Chains A and B, each alone.
Chain A
Amino acid sequence: MRYGGDNRGRLLIIVLLVTSLFLITLDLRGVQVIDGLRTGTQTALTPVQKVGSWVVSPFRNFLSDVTHFGRTRNQMEKLKAENEKLRVKLQNRQIADAQLKQLKGVLDLAGTAGYKVVNAKVISQGSSTSFTQTITIDAGTTSGIHTNMTVISGFGLVGVVKYAYTNSALVQLASDPAFKIGARIAGSQQIGILSGQGTRKGVLQLLDNTTQVHKGDAIVARGSQNGRPFVPGVPIGEITSVDNSPGAVTQTADVKFYANFSTLGVVAVVVSDSATDPRDSLVPPKPRPTPIPTVTIYATPGAVEPTPTATK
């Protein structure tokens, strides 16, 4: 029997639709209650997410572990019990080592620039179901983190704090489609606007069409007033290709971000920028090609020449 619906049912649907439209209107008008609802939810969720992060961490690399099982089933059965404890220990150690390495990178970068930073662990990576790129970190307003603060990793820019809660903060990644940052090319100092594209690649739109841009040029943050949302000099990425269409009003270039957003474990939030602009000092040095030894053979006069032998 097909559903025909009755008046009560129709009324319910209309009430629900009107309610959702009402909520959208209230939120777009900036009603505080709606903002409070999200903030309250996130504050309540933070401890649950921390527990979730702790529980899930040994299983995060489960898929790659499965593909690396090279032993036979019998041997695995025999060693399974023994390996179980060791594997968990090793995974925890590897996670700790990786986080330590990332932390060292972040502190090196922040120390060179003279930034005052607050380190934080990534406790959740936002689902891309809603077409956004975000992460949640385990430090919030109690650690001095507020909205519109620059977030960096050991490689460079990660994103910007979008919302700061009591014990956590939501970071909009530089790869988010809504992300935009004023950038300049290290060296030539030409400026432009870099936008996220949902992947590790961004698009740089240069303001001056006559600028000479080259593949491999490093891009750094131009900085904002009082260092918020962006502190100056943070390395962003390097140019991978340039679009020099003759009819284009502005010149655009593809930029590959230095930071790998899918492997973020530890990040740092810049709570206070340096007194002086670090300019291009944070740009990572370009890799130098390893010299290949060449062998030169000299022909010596008078040496016995090899004679060709006839074969039948």
Chain B
Amino acid sequence: MTLRRFFLSAPIFLFIFLFQEAVVTQMRLPAGGFNVLLVVALIWAALSTPEIGALTGFGAGLMMDVSQTSPGPMGHWTLVLIIACYFIAFLGYGDDNIRGNPINIVLLTTIGVVAAQTVFLILGLMLGQEIGSVKQVFFVLAGSAFWTAIISPLILKIVSYFHSIIFGERSHI
């Protein structure tokens, strides 16, 4: 049942992946821009059970890993997103104060994006990846937080709508 629903959500994530690679990367937004796939995966996880959250992280992470701009080895983003999505789902699951309030979901997603990028960075360092100057790292992290805080409220309703179609009305905001 869980797996069947997870596979139903795959076309949605595939579309978002294509949108990210074909449109968002063309925008050349200031402060590093944002990754819409990462934002949607975290919002999706915040509305789901921890198992679905982890599966979502796995699927979205695989897509981010096959992206040409991913510098790390295959599985790098997958590992990070399994952990990030699981924890976001774990924090939100069963707590209506979090799941029922859009502001809390936006806040959780923004923190989740920054945390996921930080974990990605630490794992990258452990795997011998170059990260550049500390100033630049903070700039990218701050830029991601800024853009996520702007993008999340705009797409939350849409993500919530599609989530409720697949997983039932309980998660609808």
Binding site for B on A (CB under 8 A): 1-3, 5, 9, 12-13, 16-17, 19-28, 34, 37-38, 41-42, 45, 48-49, 51-53, 55-57, 60, 123-132, 134, 136, 163, 170, 176-178, 196-199, 262
Residues 66-78 of chain B: 1 if any A CB is under 8 Å from the residue's CB, otherwise 0? 1111111111111
Name 22 interchain pairs, CB-CB below 8 A, sorted by A. A13-B50, A13-B54, A16-B82, A24-B73, A24-B74, A24-B76, A28-B127, A52-B23, A55-B23, A60-B26, A124-B26, A125-B28, A128-B143, A129-B117, A130-B77, A131-B71, A131-B132, A170-B68, A176-B132, A178-B129, A198-B132, A199-B132
A34 / chain B contacts, CB cutoff of 8 Å: 73-74
A198 to B144, CA, bound (A): 15
Residues 39-82 of chain B: 1 if any A CB is under 8 Å from the residue's CB, otherwise 0? 00000000001110011011001000111111111111111001
B161 at the interface (CB under 8 A from A): no
- The reply to whether A5 and B50 contact each other, CB–CB distance below 8 Å, is yes
- The reply to whether A20 and B32 contact each other, CB–CB distance below 8 Å, is no
A264 → chain B, closest Cβ, in Å?
10
Partner of A126 from the list B18, B69, B94, B124 (CB cut-off 8 Å) is B69
Partner of A134 from the list B65, B68, B75, B79 (CB cut-off 8 Å) is B68
Partner of B132 from the list A27, A57, A177 (CB cut-off 8 Å) is A177
Q: Is chain A's binding surface mostly helix, strand, loop or mixed?
A: helix
Binding site for A on B (CB under 8 A): 18, 20-28, 32-35, 38, 49-51, 54-55, 57-58, 61, 65-79, 82-83, 86, 90, 93-95, 117, 120-121, 124, 127, 129-133, 136-137, 140, 143-144
- The reply to whether B27 and A9 contact each other, CB–CB distance below 8 Å, is no
B161 → chain A, closest Cβ, in Å?
24
Q: Which interface residue of B21, B74, B78, B95 has the most chain A CB atoms within 10 A? A: B74
- The reply to whether A60 and B28 contact each other, CB–CB distance below 8 Å, is yes
User: Assuming the A-B contacts A24-B73, A24-B74, are A13 and B86 also in contact, with contact meaning beta carbons closer than 8 angstroms in the complex?
Assistant: yes
- The reply to whether B61 and A38 contact each other, CB–CB distance below 8 Å, is no
- The reply to whether A127 and B33 contact each other, CB–CB distance below 8 Å, is yes
Total inter-chain residue pairs, C-beta < 8 Å: 178
- The reply to whether A124 and B66 contact each other, CB–CB distance below 8 Å, is no
A89 → chain B, closest Cβ, in Å?
20
A3 to B130, CA, bound (A): 38
User: Assuming the A-B contacts A21-B79, A60-B26, A128-B140, are A48 and B18 also in contact, with contact meaning beta carbons closer than 8 angstroms in the complex?
Assistant: yes
- The reply to whether A53 and B75 contact each other, CB–CB distance below 8 Å, is no
A235 to B32, CA, bound (A): 26
B132 / chain A contacts, CB cutoff of 8 Å: 131, 176-177, 196-199
B117 → chain A, closest Cβ, in Å?
7
A52 / chain B contacts, CB cutoff of 8 Å: 21-23, 25-26
B83 → chain A, closest Cβ, in Å?
8
A21 to B80, CA, bound (A): 11
A162 → chain B, closest Cβ, in Å?
9
A49 to B132, CA, bound (A): 28
B61 / chain A contacts, CB cutoff of 8 Å: 20
Partner of A38 from the list B20, B74, B120, B143 (CB cut-off 8 Å) is B74
- The reply to whether A130 and B55 contact each other, CB–CB distance below 8 Å, is no
